[in-house]
Structure 1
Amino acid sequence: MALIAAFLGWMFDGFEMGLFPLIGKPALQDLLASTVAPEAMTAYLDRWFSVIIATFLVGAATGGVFFGWLGDRIGRVKAMSFSIFTYAIFTGLCGFATEAWHVAILRFIASLGMGGEWALGVALVNELWTKGNRALVAGAIGAAANIGYLLVAALSLGMNTFIDTMRRWTLALGGSEQLAGYLLDNQAWRFLMIIGALPAAIIFLIRIFVPESDKWEDEKAAGKTSYWSTPDLKGVLIGAIVALGIIWSWSPMGIDAGVTSVMAVVITVVGFCVVVWGYLLPVRRYLQRAQEASSITRESQLTIRKNLLIGATLAGIALLGTWGAAQQSAKWSTSAELDANGWTNVAQYTQIATSVGACIFAMFAPFLANMLNRRVTYLVMCISALGAALLFYQTNTVINTWFFTTAFLMGGVTASFYGFFPLYLPELFPTSVRATGQGFCFNVGRIIAAIGGLQIANLVHAFGTSSNAYSALCMVYIIGMVLVWIAPETKGKALA
């Protein structure tokens, strides 16, 4: 039951992450129409789209730390219920927005829950799954979000038929033309946002059928959960504010405000140090209190701190590669750099190809990690991801069978990390800090991805084409090939 709950929670998380790229532009066109002149619409729309994506990434990073902290303090099940409620309800509320900034704020709050659900679900399932193959669990969770992306792509293909059907149902049920227009005009963005609240129903499944982690219950009985302190969350708040400042410095709004590239680099370097300090503050304070109470040794404290930084770096490399490669593929498929060759709905088919690959490879990666070991598997994934990305972006000039084959490979290999991390990250931390540690590692990588993603325009300018820019960004995998050798090898070790 825990696996089903975590799977559904992360699948709907993936669906809602993929939903905004589908309906974001028609939503913003609708919201900005009354205040922005038509000739300025494109510029304003692109700015708001970038702002909302960036705030989502920062919110997910913040939520990963906050809800991880909550899960270590009050329990995995309760915290996971709160996280799913947060992302479902606030996604639904986006359907009632009347200004673009309403969407930005609501998406930020929703993304808090999206970032937290992964860490909590992974911790809960790994701690309950004491018998059987944990690789199966990791693969299932890794594939879940990609199934959500696949559902979004399928929905996009049938969008016109879907809207016509919903309009007929609305009128048949007694709704007015005005209500149907409000819900279903502009690619039905309001209706799709509102039904994004439906995953909140999973909470009833979780609260009734899913047991709490017995490992966490033992920690609570030993009094170790009392070392967490709410005032320590001020560090997470500071980190989130500074992270948004970093995003702003690279955004069009920052450029308009006179922020130069040199200034942005300085803000990024200094700001990122502050972000790491802030997000780590609750863990550091917890470890200090635990050491003072003789519940943890100094050696264990240092090991946890080291693993936090190593795990965050490895996850950041994977996330930056994903946002720099696979997540750009649908957009690139409709660019002037490619000959459409008579194909229609290319972006949707590209997302389907990458999502199907992601589901398959994410399932396979943890089994490979069991056959080899954690370090070698990460190395193989980095080499394969770099090769697949270069193959896709450097060998395609026309939309054809080869294009979708290489999209499948790239989407699969770059997503293999998300089957690997649910197996590896729980092994880096003891039960007392597992949810917080996982939340920090996996989600701080989103900030790295956000900063890297904002460099695409600069990379296009430097390398001449989008395909070369995406290829250059994927060179980050080379760093992963080197750094993985300082990461701990955990194959065969039981969860602490």
Structure 2
Amino acid sequence: MKEVHSPVSTKDAITRGMQMTLLAGFMGWMMDGYEQALFPTLAGPALKSMVPSDVAALGSSAINSWVGGWMGWITSAFLIGAALGGAAFGWLGDRIGRVKAMSFSILFYSIFSGVCYFATDPTHLAGARFMAALGMGGEWALGVALVMEAWPERHRSKMAAAIGVAANLGMVLVGCVALAYPADGHSWRIHFLIGASPAILTLLIRLFVPESEKWERSVKKEAAGPTPTRSKIEEVFSGELLGSTLAGIAMVSVVFVGTWGAVQWIPLWVSELAGPENPRAKALAMVIVSVGACTSTFIAPLLLAGQPRRRGYQLLCLFALAATVWIYRTPANWSGTMLFDIFPVMMAVKVFVLGMAATAFFGFFPLYLPELFPTRVRATGQGICYNTGRSAVN
């Protein structure tokens, strides 16, 4: 008897709403990546354009010290803002819905990225970066919750791959813009203005992206039950969810502490190796490391989907350790065959591998963190885990 294959069930069919959800999330994450990579690329020219005359009179050593100090302060402000935003906008997403809260978070970071254009003092820049980070930290958690709840279980690893790739494409975009339009004491402002462009995305999200049905069912179920005695934030830090929250924070913290410096300081490291006569090397380094990151964040969730989550995390840690030992135990040599007459090929290979090793985790976390929390507190829980872990590098 001939076997009859039934079509894909309605429950598992890919709908237009699911496609729009993925598109909105992908664009939001991509601009998150742009926002995150923007300051390390622009810090030098932006801060040097703000050096006070009394510091400038002391010479290049004093200028570099002043710039480095302010870069540390502004980076810290950004990370603290992301941690607070992850909790605040995650809580909002569990209260009013993923779509509304995600629209607010994207609009928030877009506005304050644009505000950086008008900064005339490092304190202005620090304040604007802090405010932009509030929205950026919230968008990651809300987008992950929305997409993972909208798509069927069988597509979860593919969605995690898309999330990981999107943010790193944003970093590629930073490098490409910097290559085409090198940042100097004046043009750095235009790069921040580009960061305001996702504001347009908020209108498209509100018009075309449906709310999470899982969240809507969870709200109805919660409304029909007894009045909750705890807030969403209190809930993730108590009872049976406390262990999941602490484990998530610890795992993300380890990754950020181990990888943030390796990636975020690459532009400055390469700039010093290449020298002032090769200003495009820093931008190309950002492109290379981001292409490596895109590769690993796409592959990691697909390869690890069938593995126990703990084993998958351990494998990624071993890969990162092996790559870091290889890269930093061999001399950095700015010579040999050149890529595009800008970058030594061997150095490009090292930077590419570093990008892969340091960022593969960011394709794994969208697969893992949503599984730790029920729908009613998912955005809050994973927002706290991811962004508190991010702030650990302070």
Could you say if the C-alpha distance between residues 105 and 339 of structure 1 is closer, same or farther in structure 2, counting changes exceeding 3 Å? closer
Partner of 2:304: 369
Structure 1 counterpart of 2:38, from 19, 38, 42? 19
CA shift for structure 1 position 194: 2.2
More helix by share: 1
CA shift for structure 1 position 19: 1.4
Partner of 1:144: 166
Aligned pairs (5 A) from 1:367-446? 367-399=302-334, 400-446=344-390
Query: 1:331, 1:347 within 8 Å by CA — same for their partners in 2?
Result: yes
In 2, Cα distance between equivalents of 1:32 and 1:347: 22
Deviations 1:362-408, CA, capped at 9 Å, x for gaps: 01111112232212111110000011111111123313322221221
Query: 2:172, 2:287 within 8 Å by CA — same for their partners in 1?
Result: yes
Helix, strand or coil: the match of 1:222?
A: helix
- For structure 2, the residue ranges without an aligned partner over 5 or more in a row are 1-19, 335-343
In 1, Cα distance between equivalents of 2:331 and 2:117: 38
Structure 2 counterpart of 1:316, from 253, 259, 263? 253
Partner of 2:241: 304
Partner of 1:462: none
2:164 aligned partner, one-letter code = G
CA shift for structure 1 position 31: 3.0
CA shift for structure 1 position 329: 2.8
In 1, Cα distance between equivalents of 2:69 and 2:122: 11
Q: Please tell me whether residue 204 in structure 1 is matched to residue 203 in structure 2.
A: yes
Q: Please tell me whether residue 29 in structure 1 is matched to residue 48 in structure 2.
A: yes
State percent identity of aligned pairs: 45
Partner of 1:119: 141
In 2, Cα distance between equivalents of 1:187 and 1:387: 41
In 2, Cα distance between equivalents of 1:228 and 1:391: 53
Q: Please tell me whether residue 157 in structure 1 is matched to residue 179 in structure 2.
A: yes
Structure 1 counterpart of 2:290, from 355, 358, 361? 355
In 2, Cα distance between equivalents of 1:2 and 1:418: 20
CA shift for structure 1 position 21: 1.9
Helix, strand or coil: the match of 1:211?
A: coil
Partner of 1:490: none
1:412 aligned partner, one-letter code = M
Query: 2:271, 2:279 within 8 Å by CA — same for their partners in 1?
Result: no
Partner of 2:338: none
Aligned pairs (5 A) from 1:24-63? 24-33=43-52, 36-39=55-58, 40-63=62-85
CA shift for structure 1 position 151: 1.2
CA shift for structure 1 position 339: 8.2
In 2, Cα distance between equivalents of 1:27 and 1:397: 27
Could you say if the C-alpha distance between residues 22 and 325 of structure 1 is closer, same or farther in structure 2, counting changes exceeding 3 Å? closer
The range that moved more, 309-318 or 189-198, is 189-198
CA shift for structure 1 position 81: 0.5
- For structure 1, the residue ranges without an aligned partner over 5 or more in a row are 164-184, 233-281, 289-300, 451-496
The range that moved more, 418-427 or 389-398, is 389-398
Aligned pairs (5 A) from 1:215-254? 215-223=214-222, 227=228
Could you say if the C-alpha distance between residues 333 and 79 of structure 1 is closer, same or farther in structure 2, counting changes exceeding 3 Å? same
CA shift for structure 1 position 331: 2.6
2:209 aligned partner, one-letter code = V
Deviations 1:300-354, CA, capped at 9 Å, x for gaps: x53211000001111111111221323233332344xx688x9773333322221
Partner of 2:12: none
1:324 aligned partner, one-letter code = G
Give RMSD over aligned pairs: 2.3
Query: 1:92, 1:193 within 8 Å by CA — same for their partners in 2?
Result: yes
Query: 2:41, 2:283 within 8 Å by CA — same for their partners in 1?
Result: no
TM-score (norm 2): 0.85
The range that moved more, 308-317 or 10-19, is 10-19
Total equivalences in the alignment: 360
Query: 1:67, 1:436 within 8 Å by CA — same for their partners in 2?
Result: yes
In 1, Cα distance between equivalents of 2:254 and 2:217: 35
In 2, Cα distance between equivalents of 1:221 and 1:339: 59
Aligned pairs (5 A) from 1:71-90? 71-90=93-112
Query: 1:95, 1:194 within 8 Å by CA — same for their partners in 2?
Result: yes
The range that moved more, 150-159 or 54-63, is 150-159
CA shift for structure 1 position 35: 6.8
CA shift for structure 1 position 84: 0.3
2:220 aligned partner, one-letter code = A
Structure 1 counterpart of 2:130, from 94, 108, 116? 108
In 2, Cα distance between equivalents of 1:406 and 1:42: 27
In 1, Cα distance between equivalents of 2:390 and 2:256: 6
In 2, Cα distance between equivalents of 1:228 and 1:137: 34
CA shift for structure 1 position 14: 0.9
Query: 2:81, 2:131 within 8 Å by CA — same for their partners in 1?
Result: yes
